[in-house]
Amino acid sequence: MLIEDDIKLDYSDVLIRPKRSELTSRFDVEMNRTYTFKWSGKEWTGVPIMSSNMDTVGTFEMHKELSQHDMVTCIARQHNTNGKPWNEAERKNKLCVMSGISDVEIDEIVGVANTFPEIAFVGLDVANGYTVNFVDAVKRLRERLPHATIIAGNVVTGDMTAELILSGVDIVKVGVGPGSVCTTRIKTGIGYPQLSAVMECADAAHGLNAHIIADGGCNSSGDIVKAFAGGADFVMIGGMLAGHDECEGELVFEDDNPEPIGMQFYGMASRTAMDKHGHSNREYRGEEGKTVSVPYRGAVRDTVVDILSGVRSGCTYVGAKRLKDLAKCATFVRVNSTHNKVYE
């Protein structure tokens, strides 16, 4: 048994100190990033904010809107066996196909990737990226798709980030338990404060000419700013996009009111998800996610514009003319409270 005495930080533990800035408008901030990936050798340009590949977030309707802003949509696994929406989707360079690590699931995403090579990213997504079995799956996927840009995770430490990269991963997904509908930390006691995880994994990845995604824990555009400032190359969001028409989730009604008041949103390790996808084995596998009703919010466009506006504004406060510059312009300040909560 060991205890680490170093303080580890979450997004709620810090603010970013403002600095003198020569920017005169949020419009002046360049949000696009261009990356060349370690193993695929491919170049990608866009706004590096991604939807999560959750059932009620990672939809093709969400992609239609996010792609208009050069953002990425990670499509939920349930669509991997249906070729029609993949074929009909425009701007496939803003799409990611993801699955788990069973042979059947890997066969599915290899089939999608080979049929539509213009898809930007291919991913392996598990809650626990620390198993030897997961590393072996990464190696098998790299052998089958030598020219694909591969995403894999989740992990939260530099050592495992490095192992995944050396096994063939271009982009490591970082985060264990920070998501709004994830209960892994409660059920298992396992996790790592997300900002520290991002900083440490980014350091490991960048030293190997690879990249990371900060996955989970962002409740506001300010948290996205903090993730980029901490070294994240991409930021993945789920709950911030939940509740919109494009999510195609189950609507919630109250009494005889014909207008929806909410929408179902659930974690991919929740009982709802396991029952839906036939992954439930009650003899040994418990749920590590929850199902909630979030307020119904209509079309997602205004939310996306608000998120991007917040990130742009954060850049102007520290003089970052490009999103690329944010990490080197930012100075974190540890705080006891990040904002006034009187009217919450």
Residues designated catalytic: 182, 184
DSSP reduced 3-state for 208: coil
Comparing C-alpha atoms, which of 101, 206, 108, 204 is closest to residue 156? Answer: 204
DSSP reduced 3-state for 168: coil
Angle between the N-to-C axes of helices 301-317 and 221-229, in degrees from 0 to 180, rounded to the nearest 10: 50
* Alpha-carbon distances of 128 from 134, 152, 215, 223, rounded to whole Å: 8, 11, 13, 23
Task: Classify residue 97 by burial, with Cβ atoms within 10 Å: 0-12, 13-18, 19+.
Answer: buried
End-to-end CA distance of the chain: give it in Å, rounded: 40
| Kind of pairing between the strands at 251-252 and 262-266 | antiparallel
Angle at 206 between CA 200 and CA 208, to 5 degrees: 115
> Which residue bears the tokens 């466009």?
301
Q: What is the maximum alpha-carbon separation in the chain? A: 61
